[in-house]
Structure 1
Amino acid sequence: MKQPAEKPLFHPRNRHRGRYDFAALIVCHPALAPFVQVNQYGNESVDFADPEAVKVLNQALLHFHYQIEHWAIPDGFLCPPVPGRADYIHHLADLLAEDHQRVVPRAINVLDIGCGANCIYPLIGFREYGWRFTGSESNEQAIKSANAIIAANAGLAQGIRLRRQKDNHAIFRGVIHKNELYHASVCNPPFHASAGDAQQGTQRKLRNLGLDKNAPLNFGGQQDELWCEGGEKAFIGRMITESVDFARQCIWFTSLVSRKENLPDLRRALEQAGAVQVRIVDMAQGQKQSRFIAWSFFDKAARTRLLSR
């Protein structure tokens, strides 16, 4: 059985559509070499159940494709899948292009809600499109890690800045300053509704990977990265409620939505909030189905005018 040459359904501009070129990745990032092995398809791969292998693969991908030479996150923090995160950025670019004569705009300010220790969306968005990012983060260790990544790589400080969210109950308040305009916001919200749900999810992933329940989790994740009271529906619901107060300071608010069944309730919340436009953007990476919800309080004419400034 041969592994497919191209990963199905990735965005056309996603640099990770094809199989990983491990030879090229190793030349660029030699630390990856010890983790590469031949899989059941007879192709080179890494053990995705090994958290260190996943982290070093991320380092190699970021180094080779995005010129991020130094990327490190503290143990236990979320280690994001780079191809899937890139898909969100590219689909967001298409959404913005719809109001910009079908051309992806470049002079863009993006707000990343909860940028995490990995700072992944700003890294990809800045390198791919030259967008400027403001990343918000409430976890002190995470923001220190993200700032270290920015400082360690030439040029990143020109396009990425971070702001500490001091209020754990706020999302946009305290982060969006007076008279600022963001063209879009992005967010990877906490998925689980409680610590117990997060633990059960961890156990399912470990079983799917054929690992012992006490094995280290390959993608990691801190409490505030994995769960909040009410799960992602409650978190995005808070985003929607709070976005009303910043309706004229962000053209497109967006967030990943992992559970499709949450969409009807979120649509109703947006209708009640007075959103002028709501979009569901479907994404897929191999067998995994994903999506983000986007809403705006501006009509199309206003969005086009603001994006053309």
Structure 2
Amino acid sequence: MTINTRHHSKKNTSRPAGKGLHPRNLHNQGYDFPALVTSSPALAPHVKPNPYGDLSIDFSNPLAVKALNAALLNQYYNIADWDIPDGALCPPIPGRADYIHYIADLVGPENTHIKLLDIGTGANGIYPLLACQVYGWQCVGSDINPQSLANVDAVIARNAELKDRFFLRTQLDKNHIFEGIIQPGEWFDVSVCNPPFHASQDEALKSSQRKVSNLARNRGEKKTKIKASNLNFGGQGAELWCKGGELLFLKKMVRESQVYSSQCRWFTSLVSKADNVRPLKKLMLKVGAADVREIEMKQGNKVARVLAWTFFSK
């Protein structure tokens, strides 16, 4: 492993990222802002005391969140100069790391000979980046957006140790997920996915507006209207929405996984809407899955869900 295993200090932290995180998650003690600023000075302008006197950032400011992510990746995962284009999805590192840790539990955390496929890696490439650095896995990231992949490729180029472990592939057909990505005779131990949540741009904008309003209310501020061109939580095009939303996307994934059932041991995906879990489990069993698991990840007051299914018997 190439990561820095120092944990965050509880001193001068806020929004405790660590509440309920996986035991191996390096962020389970919250954010150590003084240490992060020391290692990444670009974060300094965004750090200031919150109403409780703790150091924090404005989590509704996409530039501040991006600077925090870059600092976390630099200090704790030895990933230098991580960046994303304006408007791209800016993932919270502790929660994304949790997904990878729970996937490691699924395939065996001691097993370094794991090959992971990330469906919709986006411009951030976060899951393969973490999997490479924490567990030393081989990773393939796929996406339908060439510009997103170009950005991830630039991050890989700036981090030489990733060049032999993290590879990118373009999905040329929006009607397929695995076809055109998984090659004949190829084997993956696990696939991961953070699917588009929403059915339209308008739905995504309303969701982001609610998050911004909630953050403003928590700070005692007035509501602030945001524009589609400036989604504070990032995400564009296929990153946030698709026709039919999350459920239709994941139903397509489950059906197509049957075709590649002998080339991937575990298929997994985040599921943001609890109501989607039951119909997806039903479909997984219908297409012949031998084992279906629901993994709960507790992150603060939020519970995230991962569905995992395999066509291999125990």
Q: TM-score, normalised by structure 1?
A: 0.92
The question of whether the paired residues in 1 share the 8 Å contact of 2:90 and 2:234 is answered with yes
Matched, 1:247 2:261: yes
260, 263, 287: which one pairs with 2:301?
Answer: 287
Deviations 1:103-154 (A, max 9, x none): 5311000000010000000110100000010000110110110111111112
Matched, 1:133 2:139: yes
CA drift at 1:214 = 2.5
| Letter of the 1:204 counterpart | R
Matched, 1:14 2:4: no
SS in 1 for 2:172: coil
User: Which residues of 2 match residues 19-34 of structure 1 at below 5 A?
Assistant: 19-34=30-45
Deviations 1:162-216 (A, max 9, x none): 0010001110000000111000000000001222321221221222122411364
Matched, 1:237 2:251: yes
Deviations 1:30-71 (A, max 9, x none): 111111101122111111111111100000000000011111
89, 109, 114: which one pairs with 1:108?
Answer: 114
| Letter of the 2:111 counterpart | P
CA drift at 1:218 = 2.6
The question of whether the paired residues in 2 share the 8 Å contact of 1:94 and 1:104 is answered with no
CA drift at 1:217 = 3.0
Overall identity of the aligned pairs, in %:
50
The question of whether the paired residues in 2 share the 8 Å contact of 1:134 and 1:162 is answered with yes
Matched, 1:95 2:101: no
CA separation in 1, counterparts of 2:208 and 2:235? 10
CA separation in 2, counterparts of 1:214 and 1:73? 20
User: Which residues of 2 match residues 37-116 of structure 1 at below 5 A?
Assistant: 37-97=48-108, 104-116=110-122
Are residues 93 and 193 of structure 1, via their aligned partners in 2, closer, same or farther at CA, if it must alter by over 3 Å?
same
CA separation in 2, counterparts of 1:257 and 1:214? 26
User: Which residues of 2 match residues 107-256 of structure 1 at below 5 A?
Assistant: 107-210=113-216, 211-214=223-226, 216-256=230-270
CA separation in 2, counterparts of 1:248 and 1:4? 43
CA separation in 1, counterparts of 2:115 and 2:15? 37
In structure 1, what is the equivalent of residue 312 of structure 2?
A: 298
SS in 2 for 1:168: coil
SS in 2 for 1:79: coil
RMSD over aligned CA atoms reads 1.4
Equivalent pairs, count:
294
SS in 2 for 1:209: helix
CA separation in 1, counterparts of 2:19 and 2:258? 37
Runs of 4+ in structure 1 off by over 3 angstroms are: 2-6
262, 266, 277: which one pairs with 2:276?
Answer: 262
SS in 2 for 1:282: strand
CA separation in 2, counterparts of 1:176 and 1:138? 14
